[in-house]
Amino acid sequence: MNGGLAPALNPARRIEVGSRTIGDTPFPFIIAEIACAHEGRMDLAHKLIDAAVDSHADAVQLELFVPGEIMVPSAKLFPLLEQLYFDPEQWKELFDHVHARRECLFCFCYDLPSLELALELGCDGLKLNSSDLSNPDLLRAAARSGLPFTLGTGASTEEEVAAAVEFVLAKGADKFILMHGVQNFPTPIDTTHIVRVALLSEKFDCLVGYADHTDPELPISRNIDFLAMGLGASVLEKHITHDRSFKGVDHQAALNPDEFADWVATMRQGASALGQRLFRPLSEGDWEYRRFQKKSLYIMRELAVGQTITRNHLGMLRSGGDQGISPMRINEITGRTTSRSIPVYTRLTEDMLED
């Protein structure tokens, strides 16, 4: 919090990440989340990087952590974290792989040493978990990096989100995206609460994304992200794994490589159907539909030259041709005088009327 002072900045509504744009486009920025699906094996990590790039996602996301920096050694999961840990030299090899594929790289950093390593090795964006929404050290480091970053809001109160937004804005960071996502794996469909995407956007006037953790075995899981897009999600994040049947780490909400590629293509098709939230110029298809469907004012009783038009003389009909005078002008046309005789079923035009 900054003692009630106004934030130094407003959240950005458009963020450039390399050649890609987040916000100000109907197409969501799609992140392939590798997380710990590599099982602590370098060969699998390389395989997953290639699968993520080949899926045509907008970014690959790698998850960096130092076990002793994020969890007490006595915790039940600590041995698993040690098994999944990569040292800086291993991370350099994996970063080099992503860079060689010329792919955008986001780094999910759980602690300061990992964030500093990610910046040193070169990344395009950062991710902070909702567990660090109230971590001033990581928030400050992400803000000072100058990079775009996503900020998880799962299991957080409105007050916690507001405090984090105010904090990073006061530290000079406006290129962030609040991420909605329910973190239990997999997320039951009836607890996804995707409307929170719209709530976050309205409340904080910022870009919002959706991190999907639903069960990929459910057909709706392949399409549920359409709801998030419709509510304004600018970023979609989904897990990718090498083989879900292996039932390894983070498999519960992950798609196999072929499934992930299909999902990316489906999301892009859905986005093209969604369109932008603005009135655009009418397309040729729109004009064709107007000619077929829209009604115009028609003369329903034969009129002589100099005759005054009454409401009973007018009808509203479709013709399949160009549109004439809009029916909304019927009161304006009533009471005017004809400049010539007009047969029945004639589409009324201005030149048929006296000035």
Q: What is the pLDDT of residues 272-326, one digit of tens each?
A: 988 776 667 888 888 888 888 999 999 999 999 999 999 999 999 998 888 889 9
Q: Is residue 105 a part of any domain in this protein?
A: yes
Which pLDDT score is estimated for 171? 96
pLDDT in tens, 134-143: 999 999 999 9
Q: Do both 101 and 230 map to the same domain?
A: yes
The mean pLDDT value for 117-130 works out to: 98
Residue 279: other Cβ atoms inside 10 A: 6
Q: Are residues 204 and 318 in the same domain?
A: no
Joined tokens for residue 165: 């937004």
- Indicate which CATH number applies to the domain containing 226: 3.20.20.70
Domain end marker among 274, 306, 333: 274
Q: Does one domain contain both 205 and 91? A: yes
Residue 217, phi then psi, degrees to nearest 5: -75, -15
* Domain limit, last residue, from 274, 292, 321: 274
Mean pLDDT for 3-13 is: 69
198-217 burial code (b ≥16 CB/10 A, e <16): bebbeebebbbbbbbbbebe
Q: What is the mean pLDDT of residues 120-148?
A: 97
Q: What is the pLDDT of residues 252-261, one digit of tens each?
A: 999 999 999 9
Q: Confidence class of residue 169 from pLDDT cuts 50, 70 and 90?
A: very high
**Partners of 178 in the beta sheet?**
151, 208
Q: Which own/partner pairs from 45-50 qualify as long-range (CB within 8 Å, at least 24 positions apart)?
A: 45/86, 45/94, 46/94, 46/97, 47/242, 48/240, 48/241, 48/242, 49/94, 49/97, 49/98, 49/101, 49/103, 50/101
Given 230, 255, 274, the domain boundary residue is 274
Return the pLDDT at 259.
97
Structural domains counted in the chain: 2
Is residue 266 domain-shared with residue 308, that is, in the same domain? no
Looking at the structure, tell me whether residues 246 and 117 fall in a common domain. Answer: yes
- Enter the pTM of the model: 0.84
Mean pLDDT, to the nearest integer, of 38-45?
97
Residue-level pLDDT at 278: 67
Same domain, residue pair 62 and 129: yes
Q: What is the largest CA-CA distance in the chain?
A: 99
Q: Give percent of the chain above pLDDT 90.
A: 86
d(CA 223, CA 189): 12
Tell me the β-bridge partners of 299: 314, 346
The answer to whether residue 7 scores a pLDDT higher than 80 is no
The predicted model gives 90-119 an average pLDDT of 98
**What is the domain-level CATH number for residue 295?**
3.90.1210.10
The residue segments making up the domain with residue 43 are 16-274
> Do residues 266 and 347 both lie within one domain?
no
**316 shares a domain with 207:** no
C-alpha to C-alpha distance for 94 and 250, rounded to whole angstroms: 19
Look up residue 88 and give its two tokens: 């800086």
Strand partners, 236: 30, 210
Domain identity same for 260 and 121: yes
Residues 151 and 294 in one domain: no
Tell me the mean pLDDT in the region 228-243. Answer: 97
